[in-house]
Amino acid sequence: MKVLVVGGTGFIGHHIVRELLAHGHDVTVLVRTPPTNLPATVTVQLGDLTDLSEERLDSIVAGQRGIIVASAAAVAAPRSADIAAFFHDTNVAPVARLLATGSHAQCDRAVILGSFYATLQREQPALRLAEHSPYIASRIEQAEHARAAVNAETSVAVLELPYVAGTTPGRQSPLEPMLQSMSVGNADILAYPGTTAVVTVTQVAQAAVAALDRRADGNYPVVTANLPWTDLFTRLAVAAGRSPKRIWKLPASLIKLMLRREGIRQRRQGFTLGFHPTQWSNLHATAMILDPDIARTELGVEPDDLGKALQDTAPTARAATELS
């Protein structure tokens, strides 16, 4: 089957491409810059999904039977931009346009890498996530607009992903800089008081290819385990070669302060974060958990070694520790 992967050289896309090849698929990737780590059998199309002409998009999609959107979503907007419009134009409209073009070209299946914030909003509507955080709203709207853009014969599976652990050549796991920001010297670790879902990058790749092969249609949270933040950061610190002596649990007020400081840093660089500070801090002080049985039963995702994935997540931090 011919499959187009948008973002096929990214942290997750890299693994999806290799999983597709292992299943015998004919893979084309759409990437912004020339890749250096793709197998020779992969067809490369250079371009940015947000500004492709109609003719160019038609030519890229032509002949493809499946589409996987693995490109990273924007989490910050330029300070000068209308933030709601920016997230719509960046995270929502290009994906809907791509799937509409694919649907017209007889592509009958698509997979989108989404966010577990959409799961939390669906299961806990009182959180009002979409109302307060433009980024979260765009991730929810992304799935809605994508489904509205295709015909009845096209399946759309949205994999709702939490924090992803693992390693990809030339790419950094989102967990690695988080660990670095929560470290205090060589002895202490700051941690959120709640619990979070974590998934390995290998399981995400398995889920994406399984959803495509099965023409899965719906929302699928994908998770390896739900861990207390204290456990997660401890295991990451140990993997980085720095066993913490003390773990300090942060109250929601300090989490909010940390996010506000990050917001100030982003503004100095010309950006505005798409998260509401109070909302984000409250989430990380509670339970952000997913049901692991959904992906196992509906997509056939096999168990994976989370411990190894966490060890692989922090090679840069470990190397820095060994050189110091």
Residue 98 lies in a domain: yes
Q: Which residues contact 73 (CB under 8 A, 6 or more apart)?
A: 90, 91, 115, 135, 138, 139, 142
In the prediction, which pLDDT does 30 show? 97
Q: Average pLDDT by consecutive 10-residue portion of the chain (324 residues)?
A: 96 97 98 89 95 96 97 93 96 98 96 97 90 95 97 97 93 82 80 94 98 98 96 88 85 84 88 89 90 96 94 62 33
Check which CATH number belongs to the domain holding 209 and give it: 3.40.50.720
Residue 313 lies in a domain: no
Residue 320 lies in a domain: no
Number of domains in the chain: 1
Residue 20 lies in a domain: yes
Domain range enclosing 20 = 2-163+200-223+289-302
Residue 136 lies in a domain: yes
In the prediction, which pLDDT does 240 show? 81
Residue 37 lies in a domain: yes
Residue 109 lies in a domain: yes
In the prediction, which pLDDT does 248 show? 87
Residue 24 lies in a domain: yes
- Read off the amino acid at residue 93: A
Q: What is the pTM of this model?
A: 0.93
Q: Which residues contact 79 (CB under 8 A, 6 or more apart)?
A: 267, 270, 271, 272
Q: Give me the sign of the Cα torsion angle 177, 179, 183, 186.
A: negative
Per-residue burial over 4-42, b if 16 or more Cβ lie within 10 Å, else e, is bbbbbbbbbbbbbbbbbbeeebebbbbbeeebeebeeeb
Tell the residue number behind the tokens 């719906």, with chain if given: 218
Pairing outcome for strands 163-165 and 195-200 = parallel
In the prediction, which pLDDT does 82 show? 95
